[in-house]
Amino acid sequence: MRSKLNRREFVKAGTAAGLAAAAPVTAFAQGPTMMMQSGSRPVVVASGNGQQYKNGGDKTCVETAFERMTKGEDVLDALIAGVNIIELDPADTSVGYGGLPNAEGVVQLDSSVMHGPTKRAGAVASIEGVRTPSLVAKRVMEETDHHLIVGDDAQRFARSMGFKIEEDLNTERSRRAWLEWKRRTDPLHYLDPKKKQLALRKVDLEMMAEGWVDPNHFYGTVNCNGVNANGDVCGVTTTSGLAWKIPGRVGDSPILGAGLYVDGEVGAAGSTGRGEANLYNLASFLIVEGMRRGLHPKDAGMEALKRIKANTVPRLLNRRGDPSFNVNFYVVNRKGEYAGVTMYSSEKNRVRYAVCDEKGGRLEFADPLLQGDPAD
């Protein structure tokens, strides 16, 4: 990425970072002393799968991103290298290759990237046939004057950029899960809409309980955000979106301000969970704006969750009158303070998110707005 910056952009990026580029680049295992010279403490935060999958390698997404970033690689390049591990790993059924397909059995992917120092962004939605949509989103950012390219045209764009286009991104596992879903839901298409909604939800819950679908990856995505010692802030979100979605449905992940928002002067926020709730509130933008007003990442995240809760329509409320879905945010500010927040966490299902800093990669518990389970 850095090699792609022209001189003007490079100077601007340096200025945006307070010309702290003079501060030495921090090596992976170095202590915090050097990191504090620029006032930014390097950290990478991500959804929980950021510390789960290795695709046969020896490092997770956040560990890879942190190591590359602190060795001096551009922050966005480092984050994308991290999420590529998950996109390529067939074991994660919520992102990239092997992501759960749409209602017609086709894997359609969404992704967005934002580069804080240069104020640039790119995204793709409903793209088929490319395992790493985050890299295509990056090419949209680098090569075009646009922020979002969708559907068949996103695939054509990827082809013209030299990406390999594959016939099908299903794995044996995702195809079998889809077949099972189809088998269970087809007879229900003749029900009245309300009954159908309940019946579909019942099928989803049964399939999770029986192990067809990982409960954490029915909704699922990876969002990964980081800041280096220079205060360069970037973020990336990549997903196969909601399992069994209507073909062409686009969630929050590729939409700037929803699935991801970065302001190089302030910080970054990104999301996993029910994309529609996030789209309606542009919550990642809201969180970054909260941090701009001086809120800590956790408080900014809580503010956005409260907004989502307040805007939830009656058909999406549970028996307690609270949202019947979960949604999570991963937040970092330019100083390197961070948080993971979630609408719900319970003893039974404590939501965790991935962090990597000088202490290494780990999972931490997300702070919930509500205790319990969305379905209760």
Task: Catalogue the active-site residues.
Answer: 221
Region binding ligand ASP by CB under 6 A among candidate stretches 130-138, 150-158, 249-257, 311-319: 249-257
Q: Contact, 258 vs 275, CB < 8 A?
A: yes
Among 221, 284, 324, 345, binds ligand ASP (CB under 6 A): 221
Which range binds ligand ASP by CB under 6 A, 32-40, 142-150, 217-225, 299-307? Answer: 217-225
Residue 21 as a binder of ligand ASP (CB under 6 A): the answer is: no
Residue 238 as a binder of ligand ASP (CB under 6 A): the answer is: no
Q: What's 23's DSSP letter?
A: S
Burial class (CB in 10 A: 0-12, 13-18, 19+), 134: buried
Measured from the CB of residue 251, what is the shortest distance to ligand ASP in angstroms? 2
Among 98, 226, 231, 251, binds ligand ASP (CB under 6 A): 251
Told to check if 241 binds ligand ASP by CB under 6 A, we report yes
**Phi, psi angle pair for 5, to nearest 5°:** -75, 135
DSSP state of 27: P
Residue 330 lies near ligand ASP (rule: CB under 6 A): no
Listed residue (269, 199, 229) closest to 73, CA to CA: 229
Cβ 258 to ligand ASP shortest distance, Å: 9
| CB-based contact 296:339 (threshold 8 Å) | yes
Question: Hey, how many other C-beta atoms are within 10 angstroms of the C-beta on 8?
Answer: 8
Q: Burial letters for 41-56: b for 16+ Cβ neighbours within 10 Å, e otherwise?
A: bbbbbbbbbbbbbbbe
d(CA 158, CA 168): 15
From 6-14, 35-43, 173-181, 219-227, span contacting ligand ASP (CB under 6 A) = 219-227
Question: Exposed, middle or buried: residue 162 (CB in 10 Å: 0-12, 13-18, 19+)?
Answer: exposed
Residues 6 or more apart in contact with residue 255 via CB below 8 angstroms: 112, 123, 125, 148, 279
Taking the complex as a whole, how short is the minimal distance between the CB of residue 7 and ligand ASP, in angstroms?
A: 38
Nearer to ligand ASP by C-beta: 108 or 230? Answer: 108
Question: Minimum distance between the CB of residue 191 and ligand ASP, rounded to whole angstroms?
Answer: 24
User: Among residues 220, 361, 368, 374, which is the contact residue for ligand ASP, using CB under 6 A?
Assistant: 220
Interface map 269-288 toward ligand ASP (x if CB under 6 A): ---xx-x-------------
Options 97, 181, 219, 261; binder of ligand ASP; rule CB under 6 A: 219
According to the binding rule CB under 6 A, does residue 96 interact with ligand ASP?
Answer: no
The answer to whether 94 and 239 have CB atoms below 8 angstroms apart is yes
Residues lying near ligand ASP in the complex (CB under 6 A): 219-221, 239, 241-242, 251-253, 272-273, 275
